[in-house]
Amino acid sequence: MKRNRVIETTDGIQEEATVEQYDAMQRGLRDHGLMETKSILKAGISSGRVLELGPGPGYLGLEWLKETADTYLIGVDISPAMIAIAERNRKDYGLQERAEYLHATVMDIPLKNESVDAVFSNGSLHEWENPGSVIDEMFRVLKPGGKIFISDLKRTMNVLILLFMKFMVKGKAIKRGLETSVRAAYTANEIAAVFSGTRFGACSIKETPFGIEIVGSK
């Protein structure tokens, strides 16, 4: 049954204790091989100067850097606490020279026009206050021919899968955040409608048991 979308937040996870719990959860996903790294590479994002929107603690982008050569990552996040953890994790990976993190909103990306080769994002689409504006910002900073990859939860997720995900994560705040994130997530049809009103115009959308994967190019 399709549920009406319930807006979650425009600020992301901010409190220090919650941020640390989120870091632990993301680290667990990494350790179990559940990052979206392979999907990003399959989308053709494997070289150049790449932008990540909403990197959180940074594991996805850092894993992507590990799998690529001569690449550089710029992460944009609204949370100073998340950026601090991402910088700590960047040091643990030994990738200080290949990654930087900027404190900014994804609706006003602090980069020049046509300055990145690709853009990817995981798990933050449902938090964007105006997703169409963010997608247009992605188009602005992307070089001609550049690719995008966006993945997120979906509101139509099977209830058994949601229960499994809640079982896998620890901490009341994280479990509650997972529930609100699913309620705030989009359906594939809603995403297609959003893209139709942007400078991209269209995209490829794939549904997975856990969510949605979006691929496009400029």
Please name the residue that has the structure tokens 């048991």: 209
pLDDT digits (tens, 9 = 90+) for 56-115: 999 999 999 999 999 999 999 999 999 999 999 999 999 999 999 999 999 999 999 999
Whether 198 has a pLDDT exceeding 90, the answer reads yes
Whole-model pTM: value is 0.91
Whether 12 has a pLDDT exceeding 70, the answer reads no
Are 183 and 6 in contact by the 8 Å Cβ rule? The answer is yes
Report the C-alpha gap between 23 and 3 in whole angstroms: 29
Report the C-alpha gap between 112 and 115 in whole angstroms: 6
pLDDT number for residue 25: 85
pLDDT number for residue 169: 75
pLDDT number for residue 3: 76
Report the C-alpha gap between 49 and 34 in whole angstroms: 24
pLDDT digits (tens, 9 = 90+) for 171-186: 777 788 888 888 999 9
Give mean pLDDT, residues 6-18: 57
